[in-house]
Amino acid sequence: MSGPADTEWHGNDAEAEELKRALNRNCQCKYDDFGSVSDMCVVHKALLKDQRFLDGLLFVKRMKRQFTEAERKSGKKWHSI
Ligand SMILES: [Zn+2]
């Protein structure tokens, strides 16, 4: 991985795409007149600098998918979200 990131993505490509879309919706980075980031948002900071945050994000995502899958198969509601 190149660039200023200290973190590494441990998910697959589909999950990376999903993350990118979520990022685009939540990103609040500020840019200067030259198109460079002048003020990085907290989400980007966490993703680039905090490996545990990144891994945690993936973990929660996979857990949620498993629950949703189980819910669909059983026809029961496991949670109300
Ligand atoms: Zn951002």
pLDDT tens digits, 10-21: 999 999 999 999
Question: Does 1 have pLDDT greater than 50?
Answer: no
Query: How many CB atoms within 10 Å of residue 47?
Result: 20
Q: Yes or no: say if 47 and 54 are a contact pair by the CB < 8 Å rule.
A: yes
Residue 40 or 4, more confident: 40
Question: Does 2 have pLDDT greater than 50?
Answer: no
Q: Taking Cα atoms as reference points, which of 29, 23, 25 lies closest to residue 9?
A: 23
Q: How far is the CA of 43 from the centre of ligand 1 (A)?
A: 6
Q: How far is the CA of 17 from the centre of ligand 1 (A)?
A: 15
Per-residue pLDDT at 8: 95
Per-residue pLDDT at 5: 85
Q: How far is the CA of 68 from the centre of ligand 1 (A)?
A: 29
Q: How far is the CA of 28 from the centre of ligand 1 (A)?
A: 5
Q: Which amino acid is at 5?
A: A
| Residues 37-70 pLDDT 10s | 999 999 999 999 999 999 999 999 999 999 899 9
